[in-house]
């Protein structure tokens, strides 16, 4: 099992509390160099999709220091960041994750990934094949299965001009703060009227 995120934080357990399940995702889904995706990256993506949350808030959930469970609004955003089912934090049978595949999904959504996909899509077919073969040859063999399992999703994302993650709030609705949420979120005022996931 991967090491804990931080000494004293809840053990990663996909069948446990919300904090334990979040630690499970953070432990299993890591950058290729083995480091966890930091809370600041999670916050940046959620805000780019219209949500509002702070890195302090996410760190409290990870460390198990938050006084009460986060609302479903925030757990849905976290589930969508890690590309798991919206009910991952509540179901009795949360799905196991394939770390490399989920990591690839996150990396493709980052600015460098979306830029690469956009530019690749603009190349003539023969050049796309050459670039694809070159990149594949540079990927460590133990990560290559992640590329094949997510190839269809990657191609779909490259076709979307806005680069949005289709499942996230496509209706564009806007509402105020979640009334069940307390105010220790520390989100900036600009995120007070967040689109609900």
C-alpha–C-alpha distance, residues 16 and 151, integer Å: 32
Band the pLDDT of 81: cuts 50, 70, 90: very high
Least confident of 65-74, 126-135, 165-174: 165-174
Residue 40 has pLDDT above 80, yes or no: yes
Residue 24 in contact with residue 84, Cβ under 8 Å? Answer: no
What value does the mean pLDDT take over residues 66-83? 88
Write down the pLDDT at residue 8. Answer: 61
- Is the pLDDT confidence value at 90 over 50? yes
Among 52-56, 92-96, 153-157, 193-197, top mean pLDDT goes to 92-96
pLDDT of residue 84: 95
Do residues 184 and 57 touch, judged by C-beta distance below 8 A? yes
- Mean predicted lDDT score pLDDT of the chain: 73
| pLDDT of 62 | 86
- SS3 string, 10-58, reads CCCCCCCCHHHHHHHHHHHCECCCCCECCHHHHHHHHHHCCCCCCHHHH
Lowest-confidence range among 38-47, 61-70, 94-103, 156-165? 156-165
Q: Is the pTM of this model over 0.75?
A: no
Residue 158 has pLDDT above 70, yes or no: no
Does residue 190 surpass a pLDDT of 50? no
Is-contact 25 105, C-beta < 8 A? no
Is the torsion defined by CA of 85, 88, 90, 93 positive or negative?
Answer: positive
Alpha carbon of 129 to those of 25, 73, 117, 137, 193: distances in Å?
A: 33, 41, 13, 12, 44
pLDDT score for 78: 94
């Amino acid at each position: 099992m991967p090491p804990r995120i931080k000494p004293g934080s809840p053990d990663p357990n996909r069948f446990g509390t919300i904090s334990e399940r979040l630690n499970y995702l953070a432990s299993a889904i890591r950058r290729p160099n083995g480091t966890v995706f930091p809370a600041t990256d999670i916050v940046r993506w959620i805000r780019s999709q219209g949500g509002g949350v702070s890195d302090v808030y996410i760190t409290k959930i990870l460390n198990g220091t938050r006084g009460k469970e986060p609302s479903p609004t925030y757990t849905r955003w976290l589930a969508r960041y890690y590309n798991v089912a919206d009910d991952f934090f509540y179901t009795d049978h949360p799905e196991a994750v394939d770390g490399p595949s989920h990591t690839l999904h996150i990396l493709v959504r980052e600015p460098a990934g979306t830029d690469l996909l956009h530019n690749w899509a603009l190349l003539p077919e023969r050049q796309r094949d050459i670039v694809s073969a070159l990149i594949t040859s540079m990927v460590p063999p133990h990560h290559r299965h992640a590329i094949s399992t997510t190839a269809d999703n990657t191609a779909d994302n490259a076709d979307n001009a806005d680069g949005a993650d289709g499942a996230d709030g496509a209706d564009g609705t806007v509402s105020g703060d979640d009334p069940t949420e307390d105010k220790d979120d520390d989100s900036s005022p600009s995120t007070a009227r967040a689109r609900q996931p």
